[in-house]
Each structure stands twice: as structure tokens, then as C-alpha cells.
Amino acid sequence: QITLKESGPTLVKPTQTLTLTCTFSGFSLSTSGVGVGWIRQPPGKALEWLALIYWNDDKRYSPSLKSRLTITKDTSKNQVVLTMTNMDPVDTATYYCAHSPLRFPGDWYFDLWGRGTLVTVSS
């Protein structure tokens, strides 16, 4: 059974760096064809894809946020970490991590999601 859980601060100040951790079980990120992505959702708004990391450490980022994002994995701890620099109130959102089967190149869908963590950016 695959599970994912997001953790990190609930409140960050503008200009600070956000660090979120996704701790998962039921799969290994060293297994070929597996990925973990991050998606966020501002209150009352749509989903927005942020980043994706492959089992082979290949990484992809949303072009509009690429300069602010870093995604890494720790296979031994079954964790994926997302950092976002220079936080702004518009970054207030629920941040989700999700498992991606990566059946084919470009087949980037998310079949299992964590419950999400709400991050508020405010001074």
C-alpha cells in the first residue's frame, strides 16, 4: 500500500525559503519508472504543478517557478524534499506530493496523493 505524507512549516514570512518534505512508503524511488511530484493549490483555486523527480534523479520544474525551486530525493529515508525560495503571499497554498508511475516518457500523471499541507505566507 502506497502512502505519502507532506510535512513542513505552516507559516513562513515573505522572502523566506520554504522547505517541504514528502515521506512515503510502499514504493522505492530507486525502482525504475517511478517518480514523485509536487503540486500546489491556492485556497479556492486550481491545481498547479511544481516539480517532478525521477527514480534516476532526473528532475523537471515548472518553467514559471524554476528559478525558485529545488527538488531532491533521499532514497534511504524514502523522502523527497522541495525547497522554494523568496516566498510571497501569493504562494499561500496547500502543497501536495504525489506518486507518478511514469509508464512512458512524458506520461506524467499522479495516481496517489498525500493529504497536503497548508502553507501560509504572511509577515
Partner 1 sequence: QSALTQPPSASGSPGQSVTISCTGTSSDVGGYNYVSWYQQHPGKAPKLMIYEVSKRPSGVPDRFSGSKSGNTASLTVSGLQAEDEADYYCSSYAGSKVVFGGGTKLTVL
Residues that bind partner 1 (CB under 8 A): 37, 39, 46-49, 52, 60, 62-63, 96, 103-104, 106-116
Closest approach of partner 1 to the CB of residue 53, in Å: 13
Q: Dump the DSSP string for 22-77.
A: EEEESS-TTSTT-EEEEEEE-TTS--EEEEEEETTS-EEE-TTTGGGEEEEEEGGG
Grid cell at residue 2 = 502506497
Closest approach of partner 1 to the CB of residue 101, in Å: 8
Q: How many CB atoms lie within 10 A of CB 66?
A: 12
Residue with cell 522554494: 84
Nearer to partner 1, 15 or 25 (CB): 25
Nearer to partner 1, 49 or 79 (CB): 49
Closest approach of partner 1 to the CB of residue 123, in Å: 27
Backbone angles phi, psi at 102, to 5 degrees: 50, 55
Nearer to partner 1, 55 or 95 (CB): 95
Closest approach of partner 1 to the CB of residue 10, in Å: 16
